Amino acid sequence: MALPQTALVDDVTELLILWPHLAGALERDQGPIDTERVSGGEGTFGLPVNADVLEAVRILNLDVPTLAQWASGIVAEPHQSRSVDDHLRHFPRFHERMLVTAAIHEAARLAASVHALLRQVKLAVGLRTVDRRLGQFCPLHDHPLRELVAPGDEGELCYRRLDRAGQPIAPTVTWRRSDCALCRHCGAAWEPSQYLLLGRLLREADARRLAAEIEARGAA
Ligand SMILES: [Zn+2]
């Protein structure tokens, strides 16, 4: 039976394509000649920042087996030691098992974790720019306080098909750019046309937090 084409499947496909590039990215980054480095211009696999590459490799090697162990526990399968690639390939099946056994929260957690891994790898291979901090907390919740961001640009690989090594043939990169103010905690986003509304919400949140602080001081 074919798996449903969920966001998780897409994320796993992209991870399987991109993550072998991390090793190459490390070598390029350490190359002695500047011209050998891949430039970070738009529409290319950019020059990764070494620290981002190392961090992505570290996270994948640590987190993917840990996530796999947790997921196999949820779907009551014995955990097997596999390569990162093979673990990734099993994630869509685990996800589907979770959905059919009503482990909805666990399925969402698996999908979110895989998406976070993809974001890390994209940053490392130059397919994402970092979020810009906006200096204001999300007005929709006080616990936790989370700063709003202008999301970084994200490059999406477009291709017709994969070659035998699982790499896309003649891929192009489409950059997606968003001008909204976004909360990465709750997912709320405000487009520029909604900034007046956002301003009002921010003022209300400030007043609410100030009142809570005064009340806490009074009780102390
Ligand atoms: Zn929020």
Cα–Cα dist 122/96, whole Å? 25
CA of 106 from ligand 1 middle (Å) equals 21
**DSSP assignment letter at 86:** H
Distance 135 CA to ligand 1 centre (A): 13
> Separation of 92 CA from ligand 1 center, angstroms?
28
What's the gap in Å between 189 CA and the centre of ligand 1? 8
**188 neighbors 182 (Cβ within 8 angstroms):** yes
Distance 146 CA to ligand 1 centre (A): 6
Instruction: Supply the pLDDT for residue 126.
Output: 86
* pLDDT score of 43 more than 80: no
pTM reported for the whole predicted model = 0.73
Q: How far is the CA of 191 from the centre of ligand 1 (A)?
A: 15
Contact of 181 with 197, CB cutoff 8 Å: no
- One-letter amino acid of 65: P
Using the mean position of ligand 1's atoms as its centre, give its distance from the Cα of residue 183 in Å: 5
d(CA 206, ligand 1 centre) in Å? 14
b (16+ CB within 10 A) / e for 62-73 = ebbbebbeebbe
| Residue 74 near residue 106 (C-beta atoms within 8 A) | yes
Instruction: Calculate how far, in angstroms, residue 137's C-alpha sits from the geometric centre of ligand 1.
Output: 8
Rg (CA), the chain: 21
Per residue in 109-148, pLDDT (tens digit) is 999 999 999 998 998 888 999 899 999 999 999 999 999 9
Which pLDDT value is given to residue 66? Answer: 95
Mean pLDDT (the chain, rounded): 85
Whether residue 181 is predicted with pLDDT greater than 50 in this model: the reply is yes
Task: Indicate if the pLDDT at residue 29 is higher than 90.
Answer: no
Q: Compute the average pLDDT of residues 15-37.
A: 65
List the Cα angle 119/124/127 in 5-degree steps. 65
The tens digit of pLDDT for each residue in 143-176 reads 999 999 999 998 888 888 888 888 888 888 889 8
Average pLDDT (189-215) is 95
> How confident is the model over 81-115, as pLDDT tens digits?
899 999 999 999 999 999 999 889 999 999 999 99
The pair of three-digit structure tokens given for residue 173, joined into one six-digit string: 């990169």
Query: What is the whole-number distance in angstroms between the Cα of residue 201 and the centre of ligand 1?
Result: 12
Give the pLDDT score at 9.
Answer: 92
Cα separation of 19 and 121, whole Å? 7
Phi, psi at 150, each rounded to 5°: -95, 115
